[in-house]
Structure 1
């Protein structure tokens, strides 16, 4: 089944007199234009005009390509929640239930989506399956300060069984561990000052174990060393089981282990060191937690960075109604399609090839399914 079929149940809120162009035609046009490098309404219109014959291989486009203002009106009229449901349905079809992954949650602000007051810029939260390289969902948040409620909603929406959930310290909350555990997932959450008592108690526990059981520290540690560009980075991960000594353990669901990460950087004669702490539902496996902690940043490096640098999301000035949020979802559709492709090239290279070649574009949109 093609990705476009997942939009069959989306409600078309237009009146009958305004339905000159089929909703699915406009959605298909938008996604294929984005995967070919289009950034705004005018780009989508021009792509449609130049590729109408190709587009009609898949959809009727009985009345041709709508003008850019009509495209904007139709996309902005879509309910973001319904569009998200379509996106999640499509991604769930692609995901291998047996392919466990780190699912990283992180927020991102569309910096030019505001109209007048910069504080009104859209802030969204994405869930990213790092090993599969897929954005699983993205949802608008009222603000960065309200990310927690958005993450809770995404946890409820997604299939998490067997996956490891990572998020920054803002989400190190008892209700998050409860929600993840309810969906049969594991968690690995950084502890900072928002859990001050727990943070201090974990530090004290590591100090106690180092003094009384140094062999336990040694056998439960894993070290990585990376060098390049004139610097050496050494990371030491030490994981310990939660014991009755930790009084702050109460109230957390499946709180099974704690992790200490010591990061040291050497640049010439300069040496810096920082230590951070995590809580987890995972059993003792220092190599696994080391990999998972490093993989969390995949959402920044492989998703957010690509959206900004290749899809120019940060530069987008689309502001009409729900269009900014809906276009953000469509960009993630396009990015997932391109990542699933077997074509060997960078993301930017794939978009260029899709713009130039009907054959390449067809390969991208039909990567994981039959033709429409």
Structure 2
């Protein structure tokens, strides 16, 4: 990624301030904030301190004609940025930097920013829904849920930002809605949705159909099985699918429903076998084999390790106490940019936190992370 790409997309963000009173340019503050977050800074004061310490390096790219702004100024400016414009710029940038390929799994899932609650009643922490390209390991876009709603209303807005033609979009049971399924198809992609009791008629019919199929495939030896070994934990899974929708009357109400399936699993931890089997049901507009469904469902959970875990453990997102107006969601977007850039830099084979520490100490490496040089 070139310096021009970054500057091109984020220069589209409008500055809501009265231009005659502007002392510090909006893009200067954005570039400072992004650089500081990549270098491990979290709060406004840390961002200001980073700016003073790295002023000469920052001036290689932006002017800072009046020096580094105070942390209160940084907070005030960031909190006034229009989130929809920021999201649009971010998504367009990601689409240019990371081309998704046909068949790639795009996982959509939400995460609550625990530290963004209202100070007076400690409620209303914001919830961000993200689209994660599992193969590339990058965030393609994000959308804040409405404070009086949930992911169901945020997912269609997020899908509008994305170019996902030919991809397989995976969502947990919250997103198992006919309107969302149709929205994915309208984007020329396929859906793979977790099915639970929130769709009672379809769920009961799928459960009834696949129950005897489990026994039949066990007996004739066609059951797809796999095992996963990690330290003191072993997990065993099998998967059954059917592409015959004639025995599922409720399938007619779902757009282009082609596959239903179930993954049965149990765990063995520290030598002790779980006494309960776990059944996870899925529906898809793609014609999937048991092996393909199992692989795609497993890929969906990479958003937990590849994004949410890194935000929580590497970037301490849940410890962040930024709450001013619209700043929490803008900073969540900045952290997504930072994760993407840190993920894309592969010459230093360490975790996110180690890369941040190196970027803080070494401006050559920081520049390499930001611009890919």
Normalising to structure 2: TM-score of the pair? 0.93
Does the C-alpha gap of structure 1 residues 99 and 38 become closer, same or farther in structure 2, counting only changes over 3 Å? farther
Distance 1:210 1:47, change over 3 A: closer
1:218–1:197 Cα change, 3 Å: farther
Partner of 1:90: 93
| Superposed counterparts of 1:7-156, under 5 Å | 7-98=10-101, 100-115=103-118, 116-143=120-147, 145-156=149-160
Matched, 1:237 2:239: yes
Where in structure 2 are the equivalents of 1:143-182 lying within 5 Å?
A: 143=147, 145-182=149-186
SS of 1:112's equivalent in the other structure is helix
CA distance in 2, matches of 1:311, 1:99: 31
Tell me how far 1:210 sits from its aligned partner.
5.0
Cα distance between partner residues in 1 of 2:183 and 2:239: 26
The residue aligned with 2:313 is 309
2:351 equivalent in structure 1:
346
1:285 CA drift (Å): 2.2
Residue by residue, what CA displacement relative to the aligned partner does 1:61-89 show, whole Å, maximum 9, x if unpaired?
11110010011111011011111111111
- How many correspondences in the alignment? 366
Could you tell me whether the CA contact under 8 Å between 1:209 and 1:216 is conserved in 2? no
Q: Do the aligned partners of residues 18 and 216 (structure 1) sit closer, same or farther apart at CA in structure 2, a change above 3 Å counting?
A: farther
Deviations 1:343-367 (A, max 9, x none): 2221111101000001100100111
Q: Deviations over 1:190-221 (max 9, x none)?
A: 1111011111111111134457x6489854x4
Q: Deviations over 1:5-52 (max 9, x none)?
A: 211221111112431111111110000000000101101100000000
> How far has the Cα of 1:246 moved from its partner?
0.6
Which digits, 9 at most, give the CA deviation of each residue in 1:170-208, with x for residues without a partner? 111111111111111111111111011111111111134
Structure 2 residue ranges without an equivalent (≥5): none
Counterpart pick for 2:367 among 348, 358, 362: 362
CA distance in 2, matches of 1:150, 1:100: 24
Cα deviation, 1:117-174, whole Å, max 9, x if unaligned, reads 2331111111111111111111111248521110011112211111111111111111
Query: Would the aligned equivalents of 2:102 and 2:165 in 1 still touch at CA under 8 Å?
Result: no
Change in Cα spacing, 1:269 to 1:342, as seen in structure 2 (3 Å) is closer
- Bigger mean CA deviation after superposition, 176-185 or 338-347: 338-347
CA contact (8 A) 2:80 2:326 kept: yes
Mean CA deviation greater in 138-147 or 157-166 = 138-147
Structure 1, gaps ≥5 residues long: none
Provide TM-score, normalisation by structure 1. Answer: 0.94
Asked whether the 8 Å contact 1:138–1:329 carries over to 2, the reply is yes
